[in-house]
Amino acid sequence: MTETTQAQVNGARDVEQLAVNVVRGLAMDAPRKANAGHPGTAMALAPLAHVLWSRVMNYDASAPDWPDRDRFVLSCGHASVLLYSMLHLTGYDLSLDDIKQFRQLGSRTPGHPEAHELPGVEVTTGPLGQGIANSVGLATAERLLRARYSPDLVDHYTFVICSDGDLMEGVSHEAASLAGHLGLGRLVCVYDDNHITIDGPTEITLGDDALKRFDAYGWHTEALGEVANDMGALEAALRRAMAVEDRPSFLQLRSHIGWPSPKLTDTSAAHGSPFDPDEIRATKQLMGLPPDEQFWVPEEVLSFYREAGRRGRAKREAWAARLDSKLPVGSHDRHVWGAQWAAGGLPGWEKRLPVWKAGDKVATREALKSCLNAVASEVPALVSGGADLTGNTGTKLDGEPLQSAEHPEGRAVAYGVREHGMGAAMVGMARHGGVLPIGGTFFVFSDYMRGAVRIAALSRSKVVYSWTHDSVGLGEDGPTHQPVEQLAAMRAMPNLWVVRPADANETAHAVRVAVDHDGPTALILSRQGLPVLDGTAESAELFSRGAYVLSEPEGPTDIVLVGTGSEVQLCVKAAASLAAEGTGARVVSMPCWELFDRQDDSYKREVLGEGTPVLAVEAASSFGWERWADASVSLDHFGASGPGAEVLAHFGFTADNVADRARALLHDNAPRR
């Protein structure tokens, strides 16, 4: 523990030192009032936050969505009170009363920063490792857009603070490796090396050398040492890192958690629990703050920070003038810019989507590739890639260079075998704005990226996943590669639209839905070729309702067959068999539960009938189908290795078995004498 003296923390009544101490006071008061929170890290990092927000970063607190602002990511999101304090003090739309409601139900200051809750919060952090991985996406988006529009319109930095916990989580390794490989300058990461975790000193769990690790990844690295309270040294280190254009920068800062608390500095008790009132009083007295006042912000400190928050306004206004000069309002280029930042398409973009003829046989992953290449010029924000599976997942953009230092304009991204890092970087790209990221891997490996997908859903980030090889139909790779439970798991996630198209035409409709949606979309696509079905080419509007009647029997409807993806064709064939024996079967394609659930009850009855037996057919877990169907042909066990068609037949995914199951359901529902 370092020795704390009155002179160190108070000294002359310098407004900047007083400002730092006020932030430390807020960092103690908010958790104390909430009886929950993490004061120690925010206290230790108050000087660093002060330097970033008052000396280094370009932003305008009155315009938090200014596209050319510097981005700040608090990867150690448990220290959220630090970010909230800076947002309030510099003039963002966050009051002191909001901070007093820290961690309370319905407040604007939740326990961890949430991007959809508060202007100024760039990404949702909390699960450790996500923030630093998001920052890789932020920096990638900045470089791509700077190459496209020139530094006159895009010219900013991404600053991230991470902790030992962030660096222990595997996603940080994946993302840091990718960032170093891409040579992402303008990404500056400060590692808060405070030697403390909840369980105690980091030495009990962590023995690797972070600087050597990041140096091996290709980052510019620097050990700053004991300068956590030296604002001049912190600013100089940040500016040295900003001058490194060809690599991301990693600055290791030795801080002391809870400083300058007399009893709790450098203790795990300072990490995740509020200080007791006596310790808060003693610490405030040491810093020269009124010991018995809570949430104390003197006018001179508020004025100082508000001036810092206004400082970027002139730069923003000059930027706006350059935008109007280079891309005049009403010009085609300005429309492209608008579509870019909306991550949407230019008017009429969907007309470029291809159409397939009934009877063609196309894997839906291949249909996705055709769709993306057809619309790439009309969806300027589209950036596509895969986790070493770009060709396999339909995410390859023909003729586009790979994103790299040599090709910063590249709209194709080779993420490597880094599913979790890819997912988190995609969230960062989407949160940056100007990029619509599409990333692909096998559906079974969505498990590896689930943490990032959850953050995308929580923050309503506009990303598109291409998860292919969607069932046991992928065949010989066997149970390790055959998704069975993943569909149910992803459908359980709020805010995520899970779309499993039946054929190539439905895949085109799915792309339209994803581009027009304002949140995350998962496309669940087949490896094997699927027949293009009658009626799907004309179903674009009905498709967007999540489920629709693909075919009706000539006479009365005795049973409804509902399928998704590759199983819709089985429903069509089974309906034909049943019709031959006088049983009327309606066929329903239900590509997206979430969209169908948004429809009114009358439409749901129109599609599924009322009192009519419903049989669902899907090569995945039956979990959840009881909501829509009376019975299902499904998989409640792991798969098997063998040729895909044989495996599907072995598990009952044939038209004959679907027809048999329909007959059995009709028998079970027949009136009893």
List, by residue number, the catalytic residues: 419
Give the pair of three-digit tokens for residue 239: 């500016």
Give the pair of three-digit tokens for residue 628: 């829509």
Core vs surface per residue 91-127: b (16+ CB within 10 A) or e: bbebeeebbbbbbeeebbbbbbbbbeebebbbbbbbb
CA–CA separation, 296 vs 394, rounded Å? 56
**Residue 341: helix, strand or coil by DSSP?**
helix
Give the pair of three-digit tokens for residue 271: 């990490």
Residues 6+ apart with CB under 8 A from 255: 44, 45, 192, 193, 194, 228
Listed residue (32, 1, 36) closest to 201, CA to CA: 1
Beta bridge partners of 386: 414, 440
Query: HSE of 421 in the Cβ direction (CA atoms, 13 Å)?
Result: 22
Cβ neighbours, 10 Å, residue 441: 28
Q: What is the 3-state secondary structure (H, E, C) of 238-267?
A: HHHHHCCCCCCEEEEEECCCCCCCCCCCCC
Q: What would the DSSP string read from start to end of 71-138?
A: EEEESSGGGHHHHHHHHHHHTSS--HHHHHTTT-TT-SS-SS--TTTSTT--S---STTHHHHHHHHH
Give the pair of three-digit tokens for residue 166: 């962030």
Listed residue (108, 219, 102) closest to 160, CA to CA: 219
Q: What values do phi and psi take at 635, rounded to 5?
A: -125, 110
Surface-to-core class of residue 151, CB atoms within 10 Å of its CB (0-12 exposed, 13-18 middle, 19+ buried): exposed
Characterise 417 by phi-psi region: left (phi > 0), alpha (psi -120 to 50), beta (else).
beta
CB 634 within 8 A of CB 616: yes
Listed residue (504, 467, 418, 64) closest to 217, CA to CA: 418
Pairing, β 436-442 against β 548-551: unpaired
State the angle between helix axes of 170-182 and 419-432 in degrees (0 to 180), rounded to the nearest 10.
Answer: 70
Residues 6+ apart with CB under 8 A from 346: 335, 336, 339, 378, 379, 380
CB 41 within 8 A of CB 78: yes
**Residue 200: helix, strand or coil by DSSP?**
strand
Query: HSE of 584 in the Cβ direction (CA atoms, 13 Å)?
Result: 10
Listed residue (265, 300, 302, 260) closest to 284, CA to CA: 260
Q: CA distances (Å), 275 to each of 229, 269, 279, 584, 604, in order?
A: 21, 8, 6, 71, 55
